[in-house]
Structure 1
Amino acid sequence: MSAIPQITRAFDILAYQLQKYPQTDCLAAKINGAWQTQSTQQVKDAVDKFSLGLLANGIKKNDKIALVSFNRPEWIIADLGIQQMGAVSVPMYPTITEEDYRYIFKEAEVKLILVSDEKLYNRVSAATAQIEGIQGIYSFDHLTGVKHWSEISDQYKAVSAAELEASKAAITSKDLFTIIYTSGTTGNPKGVMLTHHNIVSNYTSCQPYVPVNNQHRALSFLPLCHIYERMLSVLYIAEGVSIYYAESIEKVADNLREVKPHVFATVPRLLEKVYDKIVAKGRELTGVKKSLFFWALELGLKYDVRGTSAWYNAQLAIANKIIFNKWREALGGNVIAIVSGGAALQPRLARVFGAANIRVMEGYGLTETSPVIAVNRHNPEDHMIGTVGPPVDDIEVKIAESDGEILTRSASVMKGYYKHPEQTAEVIDADGWFHTGDIGELVEGKYLRITDRKKEMFKTSGGKYIAPQLIENKLKESVLIEQVMVIGDGRKFASALIVPSFPDLREWCRLHNIPYTTDAEMIKHPEVLAKYDKEVKKYNEHFAQWEQIKRHELLSKLWSIESGELTAKLSLKRKVILQNNQELIEKIY
């Protein structure tokens, strides 16, 4: 058996797995109703053929290839194939606008584009209409009149294996492996240049804290075009964890029960939905069963990972036997850890899932930092609910004395923004500190807590600073609130624009016999307005007088990527929302 290769470049993970932990189910996807797996050797062969095919098509080192696809094994195979012949992948959200596609294709000077299906092919094809230099658009699905991506791999015999090995040998850890365009809440997207060393160093820093091994399975459903799921994919493959790709976000609940994963990454909103569904089922119970359910839930909300009393633990053991075991079953029954990132996790979710023996490891990072800066560990002594945990190995963090901004310095910090050195200089200072744009503090000198985005804080006309995200995250604890934006810059007081959770509100109206014909009519009903007044007042109690929401307005339509009010990461585009609701805001003030 040959020596186990070192992982210095992102694509080394496949040869490493093949030598150390060869799997029968390296990658898996559900096709025509059945889970189909590919072994490590099969994946390695497919990756090599794709690399050879790219070389045969004249693709050279540093050429850019765009990936526009939902998660599937082909995504990873194509990405590794691109990497190991020296080209640079430009992964993109399948949900962004045609204008954003066009901007990125042009700025990145993309040579080839890989798409997953007909819908994306049509959008991408329209976006490339006036762009020169694009050699072809290939699809993962078989589509009439569209080149299939296998046409590239089919040309593998035109290039010798020795030529591929020479290409791989010429790639160093300092070379670019990807350019990821961050959606941004203002202006055009920026291309974050990440090297092989950036992502390998981040995987190495995080590896000791993700409790997985080569006997485990992961379910993947967060977009692979985002560095968070992509870095975890590097970690999974390097550690011999089998990756199963969910069919879609809508099918995640079904796929969890089928795959029975040991780990998965998520955003808090998905956990909120799971929690809300479980509580809704609890409300349908009657008699003793209902009483026991809500007794267990109340107990779970008091859980502290850092230790509780013997009496509490005795009660929790009972709750786990009769109630929480069903929660674990709903997630497949094997989950050791859920890694949460991308937005603030509500402490109540970390508590109640933790009580159910499902550890939620909340972390923090940015695309520019490959991404993880800090994470709550699986072990209780390095875990504090309400924070994003301690910084991971070899990552420096400090809080700027002037304004509380979080600064970080490590091998994971990006090379810079593609073609924008002036913007790079704005965020990476002369000493190599990356300025995150987030405000935070170190609790007990160890645990990082994020308090807000620097650019999103605002000041009332009375001179008081307000951090909107803190208030928004608290308000979203209400099952009746889907989206919320706190406003009040330069005004006398803070207010909020609220988008109801319409499925939950319709159910509430049904239980209270409130008549309506449309959602727009429903949110004007006096009893509905009174209910939201009550909800806002309840959460106001958690804030100082000047931070409290004095007035609010309900909106009848969800903010979306399509409407231009959300980024691809589902962050609020505050300026757009303000512009779209000017009349309503004037009415408030």
Structure 2
Amino acid sequence: MYFQKWLLSLRSHSGLHGSESEDLWSLLPSLHSFSLSSFSLSTSSLLGLGALASFTAYWLMTRPQPMRPPCDLQAQSVAVGGDPNCRRSAILKDDSLMEFYYDNVRTAYDMFQRGLKIAGNGPCLGSRKPGQPYEWISYTEVAQQAQWIGCGLMAKGYQPKSQQYVGIFSTNRPEWVISEMACYTYSMTVVPLYDTLGMEAMVHILNLTELTVVICDREERAASLLENKEKGLTPEISCLVLFNDFSQAFADRAKRCELEVLKLEHLMDLGRQNLKDPVPPQPQDLAVVSFTSGTTEKPKGAMITHGNIVSNTSSVIKILEDSSVCREDDVSISYLPLAHMLERLIELSMYSIGARVGFYQGDISLLMDDIKTLKPTFFPVVPRILNRIYDKIMASVTSPFGRALLLFAVRRKQAELSRGIVRNNSLWDKLVFNKIQASLGGNLRFAMTGSAPMSPTVMSFLRAALGCIIFEGYGQTECTAGCTFSLPGDMSTDHVGSPLPCAMVKLEDIPEMNYLVKNQQGEICIRGPTVFKGYMKDPEKTAEALDSDGWLHTGDVGQWLKNGTLRIIDRKKHIFKLSQGEYVAPERIENVYVRSVPVFQVFVHGDSLQSYVVGIVVPDRGVFVDWAKERGFVGSYEELCQNPDAKNAVLEDVRAVGKEAGLKSFEQVKDLYLHPEMFTVANGLLTPTLKSKRADIRRVFQEQLSSMYNKTEI
């Protein structure tokens, strides 16, 4: 009976469940009557049983282990003060929110200094030239160059204080981070600039912050700043620092309007000659003024402190502390804009543990080549890129057998994921998914997505196919980056995780949209040490965002799920975010499109799982027939509304009107549906004040809107 008891012991202590243990369990009947007294074992039998025991012990020790969640995944958040609609992380011991994780790390400067102590001369920032391997700058070199730049700025008269603003206008590259660290080393505040803002918004930012110095990557980008200076639009700016060489003609133009231009290496030389000790910031000091991209109005400058940054990053570290996700040997790829807080916090988190960050070449079309060369372990990503990966995988499998094999392998991996097991060394990984994983470098262990909602189907598929953890979070600039985050071990989808340990999250009634807290639905509000100080020089907008009790009103609509996670279900204002993270104001687009001659009414719709917008157009009955006839289309008003060529002519016209009005490419509709009947109060599509009832229009035209997304090619 010894071996029977041995197998019984294995079953009870191995943690095996269901079909995993059936093979071992099925051996028991055949061994039921086995005993040394009734059988005489040969040497070969003993060796065989010994081999079986050794193999079983080895399998038990090396079998994949489920991830260890930091709390009960069925109760990921806890009600605060007995209010089920106000919740905080279940990881916390009480209602005290997390401000820092390491006692000696209270600022972004401290975060890098911690990494410097860990890694020292180890690699920190990597870059590459086309066709070449990555070249690395050490933590020691980054800290040294940051000190030189900071001292160079002070030698030019800039002050070591948080009211000293320094603009950075560049694509992601090592010099961006070194310049940022220079500011933090001497308590200066970073003001990131980026192209998609547009020149009008850029002028607004330069004047609002009274920027006098901007650090740029190349002459072409600096030329736009010089042009505004020449026009007298930005009188305060007096110095441009460029990473790359610039022409003498550019320097002469700048000199004529009293604008100094110098290379970064010359600024560092000046700093070396005027070295001063660091002047580290305090947690309450400003670290960055991050400008929102804006849609219908000028961008607003969110004032983010060092304490905001540390509380946010510390909360993610706390969540991951027991899962061995983040390690010193980790490598991240930097391509998401450093002008946005998400990428900044990701990189600061990497630096705080002494890990590496490799930068893409600046060309998104070369990103996959950069990833293959870098072989990252961590992949910050947006839903649009994950959707493209998913689409490419599905499109590459053309045969019925291949498709069946792929889907079967995905289901087998998903079965493991449901038990919390994440791996890339299973039989299915070797047979089916190895090329997919190799396309992302082959070393990927975890990824994170956030800026827009993620399709549950795509998320579940890619978790299986990539063989890595994919975390999903939710937040906005005004809460530094994130306020919710999915937990290790939670492989469910269609939610954005539970509150971070730095944030309380509550829902508030929106009666006009029938979102009520009694139904666990409402506007998402956030409070805690991660919430920003307000909008720069804009008390009115600050008061709209922050109430008297310190709650940040996001404008997003959420729903609490039974497991304590949050689902995003709508947007309070008529502004939505596309899958690539761009915000779209549909009413602004509609006001442009009604200028089109054949258009009487228009409704623009966007889906957060898609990268573009579509529209419903009611043609002007009085002019549409004649307008169409001039273009060779004949028929009645109703017939023309069903004519695809007439529809395309209207589409071409509204896009031309949109282009003339300055609409961005992602704001332009990709397809239209022509509807012959007007939106009216009587048919329930207009309010008594003749405004579009957007929710009702979406409901009435749900079939047409879905059809346009299903057939439109990007």
Q: TM-score, normalised by structure 2?
A: 0.63
Question: In 1, Cα distance between the equivalents of 2:615 and 2:672?
Answer: 14
**Structure 1 counterpart of 2:613, which letter?**
V
What residue number does 1:392 align with?
A: 500
What residue number does 2:455 align with?
A: 346
What residue number does 1:484 align with?
A: 613
Within the alignment, does 1:126 sit opposite 2:261 as a pair?
no
* Superposed displacement of residue 198, structure 1: 0.5
**Structure 1 counterpart of 2:351, which letter?**
I
* Superposed displacement of residue 358, structure 1: 2.6
Contact 1:52 1:159 in 2 (8 A): yes
What residue number does 1:265 align with?
A: 380
Query: Helix, strand or coil: the match of 1:110?
Result: coil
* Superposed displacement of residue 303, structure 1: 6.8
Contact 2:112 2:348 in 1 (8 A): no
Q: Which one of 194, 214, 226 corresponds to residue 340 of structure 2?
A: 226
Q: Which one of 120, 126, 135 corresponds to residue 36 of structure 1?
A: 135
Query: Helix, strand or coil: the match of 2:123?
Result: coil
Query: Helix, strand or coil: the match of 1:437?
Result: strand
**Structure 2 counterpart of 1:80, which letter?**
M
Q: 1:317 to 1:302 in 2, by over 3 A?
A: closer
Q: Which one of 274, 282, 292 corresponds to residue 159 of structure 1?
A: 274
Q: 1:423 to 1:324 in 2, by over 3 A?
A: same
What residue number does 2:44 align with?
A: none
What residue number does 2:153 align with?
A: 54
Pairs within 5 Å for 1:361-376: 361-376=471-486
* Superposed displacement of residue 112, structure 1: 0.4
Question: In 2, Cα distance between the equivalents of 1:181 and 1:300?
Answer: 41
Question: In 2, Cα distance between the equivalents of 1:229 and 1:155?
Answer: 30
What residue number does 1:215 align with?
A: 329
Query: Helix, strand or coil: the match of 2:554?
Result: strand
Contact 1:178 1:195 in 2 (8 A): yes
* Superposed displacement of residue 140, structure 1: 1.0
Q: 1:191 to 1:457 in 2, by over 3 A?
A: closer
Query: Helix, strand or coil: the match of 2:197?
Result: coil
Question: In 1, Cα distance between the equivalents of 2:656 and 2:371?
Answer: 27
* Superposed displacement of residue 239, structure 1: 1.2
Name the stretch that deviates more: 350-359 or 202-211: 202-211
Q: 1:564 to 1:365 in 2, by over 3 A?
A: farther
Q: 1:361 to 1:485 in 2, by over 3 A?
A: farther
Contact 1:63 1:111 in 2 (8 A): no
Question: In 1, Cα distance between the equivalents of 2:208 and 2:419?
Answer: 59
* Superposed displacement of residue 320, structure 1: 2.6
Question: In 2, Cα distance between the equivalents of 1:395 and 1:306?
Answer: 32
What residue number does 1:190 align with?
A: 300
Question: In 1, Cα distance between the equivalents of 2:657 and 2:449?
Answer: 23
Question: In 1, Cα distance between the equivalents of 2:108 and 2:309?
Answer: 7
Q: 1:309 to 1:423 in 2, by over 3 A?
A: closer
* Superposed displacement of residue 222, structure 1: 0.1
Deviation track 1:434-479 (CA, whole Å, cap 9, x = no partner) reads 00110011111511111121102899xxxxxxx998x7246x4xxx
Contact 2:615 2:673 in 1 (8 A): no
Query: Helix, strand or coil: the match of 1:436?
Result: strand
Within the alignment, does 1:331 sit opposite 2:440 as a pair?
yes
Question: In 2, Cα distance between the equivalents of 1:239 and 1:112?
Answer: 31
Pairs within 5 Å for 1:519-534: none
What residue number does 1:492 align with?
A: none
Within the alignment, does 1:418 sit opposite 2:536 as a pair?
yes
**Structure 1 counterpart of 2:350, which letter?**
Y
What residue number does 1:360 align with?
A: 470
* Superposed displacement of residue 177, structure 1: 0.8
Question: In 2, Cα distance between the equivalents of 1:85 and 1:95?
Answer: 29
Q: Which one of 341, 353, 370 corresponds to residue 255 of structure 1?
A: 370
Query: Helix, strand or coil: the match of 2:212?
Result: strand
What residue number does 1:96 align with?
A: 197
**Structure 2 counterpart of 1:276, which letter?**
D
Structure 2 residue runs without a partner (length 5+): 1-101, 252-261, 516-521, 577-585, 587-602, 619-640, 680-714
**Structure 1 counterpart of 2:479, which letter?**
T
Pairs within 5 Å for 1:429-448: 429-448=547-566
Question: In 2, Cα distance between the equivalents of 1:309 and 1:83?
Answer: 44
Within the alignment, does 1:406 sit opposite 2:509 as a pair?
no
Query: Helix, strand or coil: the match of 2:200?
Result: helix
**Structure 1 counterpart of 2:244, which letter?**
D
What residue number does 1:278 align with?
A: 393
* Superposed displacement of residue 295, structure 1: 3.2
**Structure 2 counterpart of 1:12, which letter?**
D
Deviation track 1:196-243 (CA, whole Å, cap 9, x = no partner) reads 101011110111345211011111110001000001111000011100
Q: TM-score, normalised by structure 1?
A: 0.76
Query: Helix, strand or coil: the match of 1:363?
Result: strand
Query: Helix, strand or coil: the match of 2:358?
Result: strand
Question: In 2, Cα distance between the equivalents of 1:64 and 1:122?
Answer: 20
**Structure 2 counterpart of 1:48, which letter?**
Q
**Structure 1 counterpart of 2:151, which letter?**
L
Q: Which has the higher contact order (CA 8 A, sep 6+)?
A: 2
Question: In 2, Cα distance between the equivalents of 1:527 and 1:434?
Answer: 47
Deviation track 1:79-136 (CA, whole Å, cap 9, x = no partner) reads 1101221221100123331111111111111010111123212222223331222121
**Structure 1 counterpart of 2:357, which letter?**
I
Contact 2:125 2:137 in 1 (8 A): yes
Contact 1:472 1:486 in 2 (8 A): no
Q: 1:331 to 1:148 in 2, by over 3 A?
A: same
Question: In 2, Cα distance between the equivalents of 1:299 and 1:139?
Answer: 51
* Superposed displacement of residue 151, structure 1: 2.0
Pairs within 5 Å for 1:447-486: 447-456=565-574, 472-473=607-608, 476=610, 483-485=612-614
Query: Helix, strand or coil: the match of 2:108?
Result: coil
Query: Helix, strand or coil: the match of 1:225?
Result: coil
The two structures, once aligned, show a CA RMSD in angstroms of 3.8
Contact 2:166 2:213 in 1 (8 A): yes
Contact 1:115 1:140 in 2 (8 A): yes
Question: In 1, Cα distance between the equivalents of 2:371 and 2:266?
Answer: 34
Counting matched residue pairs gives 494
Q: 1:553 to 1:133 in 2, by over 3 A?
A: closer
Q: 1:330 to 1:557 in 2, by over 3 A?
A: farther
Question: In 2, Cα distance between the equivalents of 1:298 and 1:585?
Answer: 43
Within the alignment, does 1:11 sit opposite 2:109 as a pair?
yes
Contact 1:293 1:323 in 2 (8 A): no
* Superposed displacement of residue 186, structure 1: 1.4
* Superposed displacement of residue 307, structure 1: 5.5
Question: In 1, Cα distance between the equivalents of 2:472 and 2:157?
Answer: 44
Question: In 2, Cα distance between the equivalents of 1:343 and 1:175?
Answer: 30
Q: 1:301 to 1:89 in 2, by over 3 A?
A: farther
Query: Helix, strand or coil: the match of 2:145?
Result: helix
Question: In 2, Cα distance between the equivalents of 1:179 and 1:362?
Answer: 25
Contact 1:26 1:40 in 2 (8 A): yes
Query: Helix, strand or coil: the match of 1:76?
Result: helix
What residue number does 1:505 align with?
A: none
Name the stretch that deviates more: 44-53 or 111-120: 111-120
Q: 1:36 to 1:109 in 2, by over 3 A?
A: same
* Superposed displacement of residue 22, structure 1: 2.7
Contact 1:375 1:389 in 2 (8 A): yes
Question: In 2, Cα distance between the equivalents of 1:387 and 1:457?
Answer: 20
What residue number does 2:240 align with?
A: 137
Question: In 2, Cα distance between the equivalents of 1:142 and 1:313?
Answer: 47
Contact 1:56 1:158 in 2 (8 A): no
Larger Rg: 2
What residue number does 2:187 align with?
A: 86
Question: In 1, Cα distance between the equivalents of 2:386 and 2:419?
Answer: 27
* Superposed displacement of residue 159, structure 1: 2.9
